[in-house]
C-alpha cells in the first residue's frame, strides 16, 4: 500500500488545489491520501468531490488536519486523521488557532517593519487569499518585494528559528489537541518528530509525553530521511506502544524531493495507524 497521510493544499501553504493534489496522487500511484492542511479542514470538501469524480481514483481519501500545539513550551505539530470536519469541538479549536495566527501575523509584520520592511501584513494577507495565514506567505512576500531571493533565504534571515519572525505563540496545549482530534473521530499523530531538532533524550521524552497524553501514532517516515532516523523512530514508537504513520509533507511540485506518495512503505514491525479501529465522533452534550 502506498499511503501518504500528510499533504498540504492551497487551503494552507500548499501550491496545489485539493483537486490538483488528488490528480497528482493518482499519477503517482497513491492508494491512500490524507489532506492535512495547517489548522484548517477547508480543503476537505473539494478533495471529497474530486475523489468522487475521478474515475481513475480507486484509493481511499482521508479528511485530516495538521494542528500546531505546545508540549510544555515546545511548539510541535499534531496530524489528525479521519477527523469529522463538521465536529463543533474541532471547529472551535481551529477558529482559535487562526486567531492566534492573526495575532502572530501582526507581530511578525511589526517586527519586519521595524527592520525596514514595511507592508508585510497586507502583502502576506493578499498572497494567502482564503488560505490560512502562515509564515510561508510572509516568505513569499519578502521574495516578491525583493527583500530576499528565495523562500528558503527568507526563513534563514527573517522567519526561521531564532529570527525576528519567529514569534512565540499560544498554540493549544498538546493534550487539548489530542482530545479534540479524538472527539472529532480522528486519530492523533505526532508529525515529523525529527524536525524539532531535539537531542535523543528530549525526543524520547516528547514521544513519551505524546503517548501519555493519549496520542495514537507517530510519523515513522516524513519525507526523505536517513534509514537510521527511521529505525530510531520505529524503536521509540514501539517502546511507547504507539502506531506508525507515513507522509511526504508535500507542499509543492517544486519540492521534488517530497512529492506526493514518495514516503515509501511503513516498516512491517509497527502497527499501521490505518489498521487501528476507527473512532466514532463524540456528540457534544
Ligand atoms: P507556520 O505554520 O505559519 O508557522 O508555518 C510553518 C510552515 O513554514 C511549515 O509547515 C513549512 O511549510 C514552512 N517552513 C518552515 N520552515 C521552513 C524553512 N526553513 N524553509 C522553508 N519553509 C519552511
Ligand atoms: Mn507547511
Ligand atoms: Mn509540520
Ligand atoms: Mn505539514
> What 3 state SS string does 34-87 have?
EECCECCCCCHHHHHHHHHHCCCCCCEEEEEEEEEEEECCEEEEEEEECCCCCC
Per the CB < 8 A criterion, the answer to whether 246 and 217 are in contact is no
| Segment 18-39 mean pLDDT | 98
Q: What is the mean pLDDT of the chain?
A: 97
Proximal ligand: closest to the CA of 195: 3
Q: How far is the CA of 55 from the centre of ligand 3 (A)?
A: 31
Q: pLDDT per residue over 177-203, tens digit each?
A: 999 999 999 999 999 999 999 999 999
Question: CA 142, CA 154: separation in Å to the nearest integer?
Answer: 7
| Residue 23 to residue 132: CA distance in whole angstroms | 23
SS3 247: strand
Residue 149 DSSP code = S
pLDDT of 285 above 80: no
Predicted confidence (pLDDT) per residue in 218-272, tens digit: 999 999 999 999 999 999 999 999 999 999 999 999 999 999 999 999 999 999 9
- C-alpha cell belonging to residue 138: 510572509
State what percent of residues in the chain have pLDDT above 90. 98
CB 204 within 8 A of CB 211: no
Residue 77 Cβ inside 6 Å of ligand 1? The answer reads: no
The SS3 assignment for 187 reads strand
Q: Return the closest-CA partner of residue 37 out of 4, 67, 16.
A: 67
- Give me the sign of the Cα torsion angle 136, 34, 269, 176: positive
How confident is the model at residue 282, as a pLDDT?
85
Model confidence, pTM:
0.98
Average pLDDT of span 168-178: 97
Question: Ligand 3 (ion): which residues have CB within 5 A?
Answer: 77, 191
Ligand 1 contact, 219 CB (< 6 A): no
By DSSP bridging, strand 74-81 and strand 60-71 are antiparallel
| Mutation to probe ligand 1, out of 65, 105, 136 (largest number of atoms < 8 A from CB) | 136
Phi-psi domain of 223 (left: phi exceeds 0; alpha: psi -120 through 50; beta: other): left
Using CA atoms, how far residue 105 sits from 15, 112, 159, 183, in Å, is 20, 10, 11, 29
Nearest to 48 by CA among 39, 40, 180, 59: 59
Tell whether the model's pLDDT for residue 95 goes beyond 90.
Answer: yes
| pLDDT band at residue 283 under the 50/70/90 scheme | confident
Q: Using CA positions, which residue lies closest to atom 4 of ligand 1?
A: 135
Beta-bridge partner residues of 63: 35
Amino acid at each position: 500500500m502506498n499511503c501518504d497521510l500528510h499533504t498540504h493544499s492551497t487551503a494552507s501553504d500548499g501550491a496545489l488545489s485539493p483537486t490538483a493534489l488528488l490528480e497528482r496522487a493518482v499519477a503517482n500511484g497513491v492508494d491512500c491520501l490524507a489532506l492535512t492542511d495547517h489548522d484548517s479542514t477547508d480543503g476537505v470538501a473539494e478533495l471529497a468531490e474530486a475523489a468522487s469524480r475521478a474515475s481513475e481514483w480507486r484509493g481511499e481519501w482521508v479528511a485530516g488536519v495538521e494542528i500546531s500545539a505546545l508540549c510544555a513550551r515546545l511548539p510541535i505539530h499534531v496530524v489528525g486523521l479521519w477527523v469529522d470536519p463538521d465536529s463543533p469541538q474541532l471547529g472551535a479549536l481551529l477558529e482559535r488557532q487562526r486567531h492566534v495566527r492573526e495575532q502572530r501575523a501582526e507581530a511578525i509584520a511589526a517586527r519586519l517593519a521595524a527592520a525596514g520592511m514595511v507592508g508585510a501584513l497586507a502583502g502576506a494577507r493578499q498572497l494567502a487569499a482564503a488560505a490560512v495565514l502562515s509564515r510561508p506567505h510572509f516568505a513569499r512576500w519578502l521574495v516578491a518585494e525583493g527583500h530576499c531571493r528565495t523562500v528558503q533565504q527568507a526563513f534563514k534571515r527573517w522567519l526561521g528559528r531564532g529570527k525576528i519572525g519567529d514569534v512565540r505563540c499560544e498554540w493549544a496545549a498538546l493534550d487539548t489537541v489530542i482530545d479534540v482530534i479524538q472527539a472529532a473521530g480522528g486519530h492523533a499523530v505526532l508529525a515529523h518528530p525529527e524536525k524539532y531538532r531535539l537531542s535523543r533524550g528530549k525526543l524520547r521524552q516528547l514521544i513519551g509525553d505524546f503517548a501519555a497524553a493519549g496520542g495514537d501514532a507517530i510519523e515513522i517516515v516524513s519525507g526523505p530521511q536517513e534509514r537510521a532516523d527511521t529505525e530510531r523512530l520505529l524503536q521509540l514508537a514501539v517502546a511507547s506502544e504507539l502506531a506508525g504513520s507515513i507522509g511526504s509533507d508535500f507542499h509543492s511540485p517544486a519540492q521534488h524531493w517530497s512529492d506526493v506518495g514518495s514516503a515509501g512503505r511503513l516498516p512491517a514491525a509497527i502497527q499501521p495507524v490505518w489498521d487501528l479501529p476507527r473512532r466514532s465522533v463524540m456528540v457534544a452534550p
